[in-house]
């Protein structure tokens, strides 16, 4: 280059690949001014460096304003460790001014750059978590001398505060919570089930497990699930394993069943090669309760079916090779899958598509508000069908329609008829046909929860949350010693186990679960005591459930109640919303959750809760309409007169203009006539128990208003 141009080549822009870099970023006044990055190379066509941001969200950027630290490699363990050590040890000294560090609230957290050396302590939770994980002696006098010999002159400490724990996602969708609760509930029943083929053969029930495996293989063979072939050159093969499950006996129903399931190791599948789309819907728990309310109100027949090896019926669109299974291998060949198989990522979707196509051919109509709810109208007689993976509920007043539907399903799929429905999704169904009562409860499941956490002999509590309990993050562990002590406490599992009860049949514990879920990441002893209080309440109310009657005398089928506290969260000052909806007088939908923003007044907090309630009312109204019960307008009760005025009248005020979007949404729904906002006294509002702890007498009174009663009442 120098020979060609006559000028010396400029190499000043060359940097060490993989070195640590700090790119200038724009932000608000108090945000960090630099982002920690790894140098990847040079951008094509523009002047700038290609960098990988290490903070959240991680992404590839191009920047010209960059400061490099080529003495350290960003991902080198020694350098990262030394950086941690420097930051931790300085933590116990005073700040640059010689005074103790300020509080978290009054410091900015901006990165500092001096003499080419940079320490950035921004708001990245990932960085804060790494800071403390590898250190010992975060507190105590012995830590002052550990950093002897380290030159700290080129570093400035931004702030002096305790390590913060990684925060969970701010807003978990209801589906995420239900998934967590299902996993926690499933874990309760796994202790006596073998986890491998060898364990099954070594167990005392080996002859039963052996029979279950042979039954599974026979079903696979009958279904032509695979054929044995030589593995083509260059093709990948996935593994397989046995999953064992013992289904407990149901009272007055079927005996305990031993099931063995052959599954593919789907975690080895490659997206775009072995699978593409994987989503498959399941029926909502609210839809199950809606059907139960209709069954009780109309005194319908309710029967249950189970699809044997449901996922094997799905048609596989990709070419997949699988190893032969443990204990039954014939030779060195592999299985070329011709049908879907348990464990494959696309299996649930393929099964649902197969079943959905079949029902549509039988003139069933899929509901627009729940893809797993189907209706069939034949000469004015309605038949309802709900699908949850391989469990099917069928309800109708015409036994002939039920029998014909079951016969057609049996012709297409291998079915097991379970007769009158007694249990679905771990929910016990008890019926008194002459008395017109249908009762849903989870007494057996909750008894297991109480036993697992050794609360069988504990003193019973009268409410799920004690009024004296004021839970905050200040009660979370602050030292490593306190955190290690709490690691042995099964707080998260306990919340998940109770949460499944709350999701299905127990609106009475919704508020307590919502409050305690805020501390799942870093619970303290006080939070654990609050959880044990709730377990003691559950012990005293094991038989409580939802009682559906056929003697409903109200005006509208659906009735809603909403409420909110004001700035109830001591840590964020966010308010808590709660709503509960009844169908024919019994609760079918409920929720208790922190609002996403900080409300500036009680009116605003109540209005946010009202907006959430109106959205749920629209969904519930649409579902019930498709099931044959059309209601012109749903009455949503609210105890805030000011929020009702905002919804019903064209009021504009500077103190309410910031809730403009929700204001117009609720008002437009009210004007359309789909929802009416009605006044209710606070003492009579059942949603009040979803936003705050209540005294025993009022709590039980409000529970009875939504049909949440002890068994037999």
> Residue 85 has what pLDDT?
38
| Span 498-520, pLDDT tens digits | 999 999 999 999 999 999 999 99
135-149, 599-613, 664-678: least confidently modelled range: 135-149
* Lowest-pLDDT choice from 80-84, 434-438, 652-656: 80-84
Instruction: Compute the average pLDDT of residues 14-36.
Output: 84
Residue among 409, 442, 405, 431 at smallest CA distance from 295 = 431
- Decide if pLDDT at 685 tops 60: yes
Average pLDDT over residues 660-680: 88
Q: Which comes out higher in pLDDT, residue 171 or 233?
A: 233
| Confidence at 251, pLDDT banded by 50, 70, 90 | low
Task: Please give the residue that has the higher pLDDT: either 331 or 524.
Answer: 524
Q: Which candidate, 446, 449, 398, 438, places its Cα nearest to that of 289?
A: 438
Mean per-residue pLDDT, 606-633: 95
Whether residue 401 is predicted with pLDDT greater than 80 in this model: the reply is: yes
**pLDDT exceeds 50 at position 106:** no
With beta carbons less than 8 A apart as the criterion, state whether 409 and 398 touch: no
56 or 559, which is more confident: 559
CA-wise closest residue to 195 among 246, 255, 239, 237: 246
In the three-class reduction of DSSP (H, G, I as helix; E, B as strand; rest coil), residue 203 is classed as: coil
Lowest average pLDDT, out of 333-337, 584-588, 621-625, goes to 333-337
Q: What is the pLDDT of residue 679?
A: 95
Question: Among residues of the chain, what percentage have pLDDT more than 70?
Answer: 79
Rounded Cα–Cα distance for residues 548 and 119 (Å): 63
Average pLDDT over residues 22-38: 83
CB of 624 within 8 A of CB of 583? yes
The stretches of 30-148 forming alpha helices (DSSP H) are 77-90, 125-133
CA dihedral 279, 281, 286, 289 (to 10 degrees): -150
Quote the CA–CA distance of 569 and 367 in Å, as a whole number: 38
Are 347 and 314 in contact by the 8 Å Cβ rule? The answer is: yes
Does 289 or 225 have the greater pLDDT score?
Answer: 289
Model pLDDT, residue 124: 37
pLDDT exceeds cutoff 70 at 23: yes
pLDDT digits (tens, 9 = 90+) for 420-431: 999 998 899 999
In this structure, are residues 584 and 552 in contact, taking their beta carbons and an 8 Å threshold? yes
**What average pLDDT does the segment 313-335 reach?**
85
Residues carrying CATH 3.30.420.10, the chain: 552-713
Confidence (pLDDT) at 116: 38
Average pLDDT, the chain: 81
Distance CA 73, CA 19 (A): 4
- Is the predicted pLDDT of residue 177 greater than 80, yes or no? no
pLDDT of 611 reads 94
Cβ 383 vs Cβ 404: under 8 Å: no
Split at pLDDT 50, 70, 90, the class of 330 is: confident
How many CB atoms sit inside 10 A of residue 402's CB? 19
Contact 111, 32 (CB under 8 A): yes
In this prediction, residues 25-48 reach a mean pLDDT of: 82
Query: Is 552-713 in CATH node 3.10.310.10?
Result: no
| Helices marked H in 507-592 | 510-516, 525-540
Which of the four pLDDT bands, split at 50, 70 and 90, describes residue 523? very high
Residue 3 pLDDT grade (very low, low, confident, very high; cuts 50, 70, 90): low
Q: Which residue has the higher pLDDT, 647 or 622?
A: 622
Q: Quick check: bond before 450 cis, omega within 30?
A: no
- Taking a C-beta distance cutoff of 8 angstroms, is the pair 96, 158 a contact? no
User: How many angstroms separate the Cα of 250 from the Cα of each of 192, 257, 542?
Assistant: 18, 10, 17
362 and 355 Cβ atoms separated by less than 8 Å: no
Tokens of residue 20, six digits: 């640590």
Query: Residue 172 pLDDT more than 80?
Result: no
Peptide bond into 57 cis (omega under 30): yes
Of the pLDDT bands very low, low, confident and very high (cuts 50, 70, 90), residue 556 is confident
Q: How far is CA 457 from the centre of its chain?
A: 31
Q: Rounded CA gap, 705 and 277, in Å?
A: 44
Residue 104 has pLDDT above 80, yes or no: no
Q: Average of pLDDT values for 657-673?
A: 81
Give pLDDT, residue 386.
Answer: 97
Tokens 């009040």 belong to residue: 688
Q: Work out the average pLDDT over 679-684.
A: 94
* Cα–Cα distances in angstroms (integers) from residue 161 to residues 93, 152, 292, 401, 647, in the given order: 11, 18, 54, 69, 45
Q: Is the pLDDT of residue 151 over 80?
A: no
């Amino acid at each position: 280059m120098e020979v060609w141009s006559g000028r010396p080549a400029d190499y000043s822009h060359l940097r060490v690949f993989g070195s640590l870099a700090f790119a200038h970023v724009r932000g608000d006044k108090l945000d960090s001014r630099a982002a920690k990055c790894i140098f990847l190379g040079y951008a094509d066509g523009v002047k700038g460096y290609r960098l990988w941001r290490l903070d959240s969200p991680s992404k590839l950027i191009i920047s010209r304003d960059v400061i490099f630290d080529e003495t350290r490699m960003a991902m080198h363990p020694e350098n990262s460790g030394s950086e941690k050590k420097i930051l931790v040890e300085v933590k116990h000294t005073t700040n640059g001014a010689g005074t103790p560090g300020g509080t978290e609230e009054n410091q900015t957290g901006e990165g500092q750059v001096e003499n080419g050396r940079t320490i950035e302590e921004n708001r990245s939770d990932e960085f804060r978590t790494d800071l403390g994980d590898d250190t010992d002696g975060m507190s105590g006098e012995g830590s002052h001398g550990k950093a002897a010999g380290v030159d700290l002159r080129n570093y400035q400490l931004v702030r002096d505060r305790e390590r913060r724990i990684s925060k969970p996602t701010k807003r978990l969708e209801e589906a995420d919570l239900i998934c967590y609760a299902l996993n926690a509930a499933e874990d309760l029943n796994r202790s006596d089930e073998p986890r491998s083929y060898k364990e099954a053969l070594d167990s005392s029930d080996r002859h039963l497990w052996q029979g279950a495996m042979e039954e599974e293989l026979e079903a696979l063979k009958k279904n032509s699930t695979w054929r044995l072939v030589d593995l083509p050159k260059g093709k990948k093969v996935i593994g397989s394993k046995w999953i064992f499950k013992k289904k407990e006996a149901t009272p007055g129903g079927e005996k305990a069943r031993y099931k063995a399931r052959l599954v593919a190791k789907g975690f080895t599948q490659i997206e775009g090669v072995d699978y593409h789309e994987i989503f498959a819907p399941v029926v909502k728990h609210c839809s199950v309760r809606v059907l139960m309310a209709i069954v009780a109100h109309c005194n319908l027949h309710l029967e249950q079916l189970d699809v044997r090896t449901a996922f094997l019926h799905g048609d596989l669109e990709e070419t997949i090779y699988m190893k032969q299974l443990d204990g039954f291998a014939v030779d060195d060949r592999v299985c070329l899958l011709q049908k879907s198989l348990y464990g494959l990522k696309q299996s649930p979707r393929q099964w649902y598509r197969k079943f959905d196509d079949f029902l549509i051919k039988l003139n069933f109509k899929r509901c627009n508000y729940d893809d797993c709810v189907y209706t069939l109208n034949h000469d004015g007689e309605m038949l309802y069908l709900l699908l949850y993976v391989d469990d099917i509920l069928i309800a109708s007043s015409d036994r002939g329609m039920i029998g014909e539907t079951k016969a057609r399903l049996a012709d297409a799929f291998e079915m097991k008829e379970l007769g009158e429905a007694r249990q679905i999704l771990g929910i016990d169904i008890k019926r008194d046909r002459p008395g017109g009562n249908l009762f849903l409860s989870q007494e057996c499941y909750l008894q297991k929860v109480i036993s697992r956490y050794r609360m069988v002999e504990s003193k019973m509590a009268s409410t799920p949350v004690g009024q004296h309990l004021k839970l905050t993050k200040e009660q979370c562990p602050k030292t490593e010693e306190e955190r290690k002590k709490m690691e042995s406490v099964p707080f998260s599992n306990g919340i998940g186990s109770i949460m499944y009860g709350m999701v299905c049949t127990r609106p009475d514990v919704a508020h307590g679960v919502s409050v305690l879920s805020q501390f799942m990441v870093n619970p303290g002893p006080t939070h654990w005591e609050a959880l044990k209080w709730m377990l003691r309440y559950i012990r005293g109310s094991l038989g409580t459930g939802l009682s559906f009657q056929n003697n409903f005398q109200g005006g509208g089928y659906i009735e809603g109640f909403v409420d909110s506290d004001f700035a109830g969260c001591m840590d964020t000052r966010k308010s808590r919303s709660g709503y509960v909806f009844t169908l024919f007088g019994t609760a079918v939908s409920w929720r208790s959750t922190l609002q996403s923003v900080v409300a500036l007044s009680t009116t605003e907090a109540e209005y946010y809760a009202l907006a959430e309630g109106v959205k749920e009312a629209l969904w519930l109204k649409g579902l019930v309409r498709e099931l044959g019960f059309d209601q012109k307008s749903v009455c949503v009760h609210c105890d805030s007169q000011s929020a009702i005025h905002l919804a019903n009248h064209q009021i504009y005020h500077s103190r309410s203009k910031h809730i403009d979007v929700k204001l117009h949404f609720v008002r437009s729904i009210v004007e359309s006539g789909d929802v009416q906002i009605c006044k209710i006294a606070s003492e009579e509002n059942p949603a009040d128990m979803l936003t705050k702890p209540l005294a025993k007498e009022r709590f039980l009174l409000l529970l009875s208003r939504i049909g949440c009663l002890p068994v037999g009442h």
